[in-house]
């Protein structure tokens, strides 16, 4: 259990490329959202679900985006504001292979010197599989309210970030499957064939 950290499952996306609500898709007998909830409950004392509108099928605390159309930044703002712990682990609901050991390994890189701990896989930052200090909320709110791009990358550019190379995460997840996300029906078909 990572006692000083809450988990935020981002489940408020529009799923436009998938064509249906991704979080309701079934994989290995569970919806993607329930799969994420079960995995996060095992390692965090508090689990929050970020949604566009309240969902009756979720029995956990829910936060609704502070700004309509604000994307993941809006979800992060609501989650950081609701968290009762100094750290928040943010994860997208469409990552069916999120490995608990990999999350725990990533948590070891947290320190007072950083506001975010973000893995870099195949040269790409993975902000929706990362740890954030709740004190970073004002920066996220500034990005959300600004006239510029409302992106997680924009927020990260203003934070003190510890970038964690994929090589440090491979011991527990050799193929880095934790970072597989599902954006299209083809992505879903591919993992169902595995």
Binding positions for GTP are 10-12, 22, 65, 94
Binding residues: 10-12, 22, 65, 94
SS3 117: strand
Q: Helix H segments across 13-136?
A: 32-41, 71-82, 100-107
Binding residues for Mg(2+): 94
Among 119, 115, 114, residue whose Cα is nearest residue 103: 119
DSSP string, the chain: --TTEEEEEE-----TTTSS-GGG-EETTEEHHHHHHHHHHTT-SEEEEEESS--TT--S-EEE-SSTT-HHHHHHHHHHHH--SSEEEEEETT-TT--HHHHHHHHTT--TT-SEEEEEETTEE-TTEEEEEGGGHHHHHHHHHSSS---HHHHHTTS-EEEEEGGGTTTT-TT-GGG----SHHHHHHHHH-
């Amino acid at each position: 259990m990572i006692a000083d950290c809450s988990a935020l499952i981002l489940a408020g996306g529009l799923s436009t490329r998938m064509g249906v609500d991704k979080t309701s898709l079934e994989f290995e007998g569970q919806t993607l959202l329930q799969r994420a909830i079960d995995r996060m409950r095992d390692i965090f004392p508090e689990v929050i679900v970020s949604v566009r509108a309240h969902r009756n099928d979720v029995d956990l605390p829910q936060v609704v985006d502070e700004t309509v159309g604000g994307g993941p930044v809006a979800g992060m703002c609501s989650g950081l504001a609701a968290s009762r712990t100094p750290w928040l682990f943010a994860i997208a609901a469409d990552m069916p292979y999120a490995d608990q050991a990999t999350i725990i390994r990533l948590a070891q890189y947290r320190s007072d010197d950083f506001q975010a701990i973000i893995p870099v896989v195949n040269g790409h930052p993975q902000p929706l599989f990362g740890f954030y200090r709740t004190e970073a909320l004002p920066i996220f709110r500034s990005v959300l309210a600004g006239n510029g791009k409302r992106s997680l990358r924009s927020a990260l550019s203003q934070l003190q970030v510890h970038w964690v190379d994929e090589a440090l995460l491979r011991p527990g997840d050799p193929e880095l499957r934790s970072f597989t996300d599902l954006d299209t029906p083809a992505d879903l078909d591919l993992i169902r064939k595995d």
